[in-house]
Structure formats: C-alpha cells, structure tokens
Structure 1
Amino acid sequence: MRASDRAYAMLREDIVEWRLPPGTVLGEVEQSQRLGISRTPLREALGRLTADGLAAAHNGRGVVVTPISAETVGALFELRQALECQAASLAANRRDPAVFRGLRTDFDAAAARLDADPEEDPARQGYYALVARLDSAIDAAAANPYLTQALGNVRLHLARVRRLAKDNPARLRETASEHATIAGAIAAGDPSMAAAATAVHLHKSLEHFNTVHQLLIREDLFS
C-alpha cells in the first residue's frame, strides 16, 4: 500500500471514530510524525480527505476536521433519504428473498442481544457490522452502480454521526427493529413498504441526532 493510501485510511478511520474530533487541526509536521510518513504523501492524504468533505482548509490554520452541525446533518439526511429510499425500493423489486429473510432474523437476534447486554461493546460492534451487511445486500440487490457510488460517500459521513448514538442502548434497540422491518419489506418484495420503512428509520435517526446534538451543546462538549 502506498504511504499516501495508508495515511488516508488511518486518518479517515480516526475521524470517523472521533479520535480526531471536529475542529482538530491536522498539522503536517505532527501528523507526518504520528503516521511515520513524509509530508508529501500526507498532503495527498489530506487532499483526499478534503475532497471527501471530512477535512477543510480553515482561516490559514491549515487543514482541520470538518464540524458536524444540525444544519450539515439535515442536508446529509435530505440526500440520504432520496438515495436510500430509492435503493430499498429497487432492492425489493430485484432481491433474493432468502438473503433478506436471513437479515431480518439476524436483526431480531441483534435486538435481543442489545436488550440483554446494553453496555456490552462486542454486541454493539456486531450490530454495526450487521448494518454494513444490510447496506451491502441492498446495494447488490438494487444493482445500480451509480446509486451505490453516491451512497458510499453519504455513508462515510453517516458513520461519524452514527457514533453519537452508540452510548444510547435504547436507540440502538429501536434501530435494530427498524432495520428488521426494512429487511422484511424487501424480502416480501414490497417496494412501497421498503421505501416507507426506510423513511421512518431515517426520520427517527435524524430526530435522535438533533436531541443528542442539543445535549452536547448544553454540556459545552460540541460547538
């Protein structure tokens, strides 16, 4: 792997996982030393992060991790609803029913595990991996490479937002049920229900983000 690719992957993961929170200055000297690479490949990596929208030039301070605000998340969800509802609808028309019946069963089981061990990190990690499986199954069933490409960038930003919910077991259990409904509608070959279930899930997710965002602002943990 090229040094710039490695730096990009490491920085992207650090941003998504909040090890580099919004507003963090990505200084060339500091980051090149931390990652063990020269400044030239680091600049390439920072350029790619900027193109992704995860970083941006800021007032002569170099490159910083972009903020997450209610406004930016609202815009993200507007795009997400258009893309994901269409993907779910297409998947319902073109799916392998067995794949999505299995996913529904897995989400039902995941909800039970989160109920039993709401603070258990492996249960959460397994749940996020299951969500990724559903995303991949919908992409494959929808069979539209342009739609899949557009969703890829949206999901990259969504991963940062989603981390705000990981300390809320009740919301995770709700999302497991919502994802089970989406998978079940796709398995049944009902495009209208699949799109509607996706829209409900996205609405509730945005409501949850706005609630958490306001709490963090009041606690002075978020700008």
Structure 2
Amino acid sequence: MAKPVAEQPAGKETGAARVYKMLRSEILTMTLAPGEALDEVSLAERFDSSRSPIREALVRLSADGLVTTLANRSTVVTPMELARVPEFLDALDLLQRVTTRLAALHRTPADLVKIRETYKAYQKGVATSIKTRVSLPMIETNHDFHMAVARAGRNTYFADLYSRLLDEGRRMLHLHLQFKLQDPNISAQEMGSDHTEILDAIERGDADKAEEYGHLHAVQFKGQFMEFMDRNLTASVPLNYRAPSREATTTE
C-alpha cells in the first residue's frame, strides 16, 4: 500500500493527527473492513513513522468507537454486528424523535443560526458526495446537523446518547449512500428534503411536527438500509437448488 506523501517531517502530534485522520477516513468509508486487524508495526512502516504516533492515533480511534482492542491486545477495526442492526435503528428512531422535539421547544436564536449553518453545510456535503462518489462529506455534515439539533434541545443526556448512536451509524450511512447512488437521478435536494422539514418545524417551534419529521427521517433510513442489506446479503448466497421431480411431489 502506498505511503501518504509528507512534504515536511512531522512532530509527534502532527504525525498522530495525520495517521488518525487517514485511518478514520478509511474506516468510515469501509476501505478498512470491519474486523480487519491493525498492526502497529505495519502501520508505522506504511506511514513512515515511529510507533508512538500510531498508538496515539489508535487511542483516539478507540475513543471514537472505530477500533477495538481485543483480549490479546491486538487491535481491529470495530466489527459491525449485523444481527443488532434492527435494535440500533429502533434506538436511533427514538432518540431522533426526542431530540428534534426538544429542539423545537427550547431552541434559541443562536441555536437556529447554528442549525441553519450545519443544514447548508450538509447540502454542500451531499452534493460533493454525489459528485465524487465519496461518502465522507455527507457522513460528517450529517452528524454536525443532527448534533446541532440535539444540543438545541438542552438535554445533555439525550444529546450524548444520540451522539453515540450517530457515531456508531457512520459506516451504515456510508452503505446508505452507496444504495442511494444506484439511482442516477439522485439529487442533493432530494437527499436533504428530510433535513429541510426538520429545520422548518424547529424554526416554527412546532414540536409535534419536529418529532414527526424526525421519526419519518429515521424510518426512511431504516427501510432503505434494510433493503440495501437484503439485496446485498442475499446476492452473495449461492442457490444450488434443483426442483424436485414431479414424481417425488405426487402424493399417493
């Protein structure tokens, strides 16, 4: 694998930040697959650095929930537990409803400015992702928008729980974009329509509509993601099936 180009020697902090940024991008876009081993020696060779910046980057990634240290002290990209995806999506729905509702009730003028800024950034991020077929701009700006909404609700417990769910769901969002990009006519406006409705309801202070739109947004994501998983998981299953003969199916 090619090493990142470094024009100038980097200090420990700069080196760790560089490693963190690149590995994080590769994990979120699933260039590094869930469960893939991350060996410090190999990474140090790849990034042409000592092992200290590698360790520091892995600690940051572990705090993000993107890598996991196993009992034998080896490090892997955090696996995606597909069996628990429905549970995750249900929890996301619940937290999204409550955070959008509370935002409509408690947002301040300063909150609205921040939410509008992140909304516009999301629209640009989606347009960039559609154009480049790289999901990271959409993933990052989606997180920023929803967290601006959550913080406007003035409940740190809900906001912290919601942040954890959004972090865990970043790779699912990458897969979601891959599904959406199968439509050659997809537009940033269409993909951002749910966010538009949420923003409008919060601006009006309409808590019921904000909760409703938050719920619909989560349900749509759940349905499309499960459809994506169904298509791709079943597509890899071999069907060596031969219909029974007519004689075998005839009852006496």
Task: Find the partner of 1:91 among 72, 80, 103.
Answer: 103
Distance (whole Å) between structure 2 residues aligned to residue 45 and residue 101 of structure 1: 30
Displacement of 1:15: 0.6
Q: Deviations over 1:162-198 (max 9, x none)?
A: 1112231457765422221111211121112211211
Change (3 A) 1:186 1:104: farther
**Which ranges of structure 2 fall in alignment gaps of 5 or more residues?**
1-12, 238-252
Change (3 A) 1:209 1:90: same
Residue type of the partner of 2:226?
N
Task: Find the partner of 2:225 among 205, 209, 216.
Answer: 209
3-state SS in 2 of match to 1:53: coil
Displacement of 1:36: 3.3
How does 1:65-214 map onto structure 2 within 5 Å? 65-96=77-108, 99=113, 110=123, 120-121=131-132, 131-167=142-178, 168-169=180-181, 175-214=191-230
Change (3 A) 1:207 1:122: closer
Change (3 A) 1:40 1:220: farther
Coordinate RMSD, CA, aligned: 3.9
Q: Deviations over 1:93-140 (max 9, x none)?
A: 122476499579959xx59x96xx995238977765653453243134
Displacement of 1:57: 4.3
Q: Does the alignment pair 1:26 with 2:38?
A: yes
Displacement of 1:51: 4.6
Distance (whole Å) between structure 1 residues aligned to residue 19 and residue 73 of structure 2: 20
3-state SS in 1 of match to 2:169: helix
Residue type of the partner of 2:45?
Q
Q: Which has the higher contact order (CA 8 A, sep 6+)?
A: 1
TM-score by length of 2: 0.67
Alpha-carbon contact 2:139-2:173 (below 8 Å) kept: no
Q: Relative to total residues, which structure has the larger helix share, 1 or 2?
A: 1
Alpha-carbon contact 1:95-1:142 (below 8 Å) kept: yes
For 2:24, the equivalent position in structure 1 comes to 12
Residue type of the partner of 1:20?
L
Alpha-carbon contact 1:100-1:184 (below 8 Å) kept: no
Deviates more, 1:144-153 or 1:158-167: 144-153
Residue type of the partner of 2:225?
F
Identity of aligned residues (%): 26
Q: Deviations over 1:24-70 (max 9, x none)?
A: 21112111222333224423433443454322345859322123243
Alpha-carbon contact 1:25-1:64 (below 8 Å) kept: yes
Distance (whole Å) between structure 1 residues aligned to residue 116 and residue 190 of structure 2: 19
Distance (whole Å) between structure 2 residues aligned to residue 14 and residue 91 of structure 1: 33
Equivalent residues, number:
217
**Which ranges of structure 1 fall in alignment gaps of 5 or more residues?**
none
Distance (whole Å) between structure 2 residues aligned to residue 193 and residue 122 of structure 1: 33
Deviates more, 1:158-167 or 1:211-220: 211-220
* Larger Rg over CA atoms: 2
Distance (whole Å) between structure 1 residues aligned to residue 63 and residue 205 of structure 2: 37
TM-score by length of 1: 0.74
Alpha-carbon contact 1:92-1:188 (below 8 Å) kept: yes
Distance (whole Å) between structure 1 residues aligned to residue 200 and residue 78 of structure 2: 36
Q: Does the alignment pair 1:35 with 2:44?
A: no
